């Protein structure tokens, strides 16, 4: 299975350089370091999306999942009305080589518009 296969049902932009309004409201916007040190916590902040998504009872973001490659790291559940669609988590990556490049993947679910994902390459140094 390819790295992408596990996540192939998720929405991604048709043209990343020219997002539609729906993509701008649903694509996770990832703020994370380009390089981290193996075994040390680092912060990842994510907001949904570059146009803030609604958090109303009828239409809201339900959760965000964090993966490295296909490995699940964290889930944050959100409640409509009482939360904003933005979270910060502390993750710890354990590198195998001297400089391992890994794919941080954030998947979010909108109750009306399904799952959306964004990725960021992060280098892990020993
Ligand atoms: Fe939505």
- Torsion, Cα 55 59 63 65, to 10 degrees, reads -110
- Residue 35 lies in domain: 5-10+19-125
User: Looking at residue 14, what DSSP letter applies?
Assistant: S
The number of beta carbons lying within 10 Å of the beta carbon of residue 118 is 21
CA of 37 to the centre of ligand 1 (A): 35
CA of 62 to the centre of ligand 1 (A): 10
- How many domains are there within the chain? 1
State the CATH number of the domain containing residue 43: 2.60.40.730
pLDDT in tens, 45-91: 999 999 999 999 999 999 999 999 889 999 999 999 999 999 999 99
CA of 70 to the centre of ligand 1 (A): 25
The answer to whether 28 touches 44, Cβ cutoff 8 Å, is no
pTM tops 0.85 = yes
CA of 110 to the centre of ligand 1 (A): 5
């Amino acid at each position: 299975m390819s790295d992408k296969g596990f996540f192939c049902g998720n929405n991604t932009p048709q043209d990343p350089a020219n997002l539609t309004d729906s993509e701008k409201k649903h694509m996770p916007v990832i703020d994370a370091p380009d390089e981290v040190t193996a075994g040390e916590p680092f912060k990842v902040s994510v907001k949904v999306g570059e146009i803030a998504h609604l958090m109303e009872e009828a239409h809201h973001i339900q959760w965000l999942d964090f993966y490295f490659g296909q490995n699940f790291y964290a889930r944050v559940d959100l409640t409509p009305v009482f939360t904003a669609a933005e979270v910060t988590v502390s993750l710890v990556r354990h590198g195998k080589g001297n400089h391992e490049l890994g794919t941080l993947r954030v998947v979010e679910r909108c109750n009306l518009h399904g799952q959306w994902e964004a990725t960021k390459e992060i280098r892990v140094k020993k």
